[in-house]
Structure 1
Amino acid sequence: MDKTETRELITQGIDIREEENGSKVLSGYAVKWEMKSVVMGYYRKFREQFKQGAFTESLQKDDQRFLWSHDTSKVLGRTKNNTLRLVEDSIGLRFELDLPKTTLGNDTYESIKRGDVDGVSFGFNILPGGEEIEEPDDDLMLRTVTKAKLLEVSAVAFPAYPDSEVSARGYDPYKNYVEGKIRSEKRKRLYLQTLI
Structure 2
Amino acid sequence: MTAPRFEVVLAVADAIAVLVRPMPDGRAERDQIAQTALREATQRDDLSIYRRPSERPALRHPYHELGVSLSHRTDLLLAGYSPHSAVGVDIEVEDINGFDPVAFAADHFSPKEAAAVAALDSAAALEICYRLWVAKEAALKISGRGIFDGLDEPDLAAQLNLLRTDGATIHLGTGSRLPPIALAVTRLAGAADQPIYCALARDMR
> For this structure pair, what is the TM-score category when the shorter chain's length is used for normalisation?
under 0.3
| Larger Rg computed on CA atoms | 1
TM-score (norm 2): 0.26
Higher RCO (C-alpha 8 Å, min separation 6): 1
TM-score (norm 1): 0.27
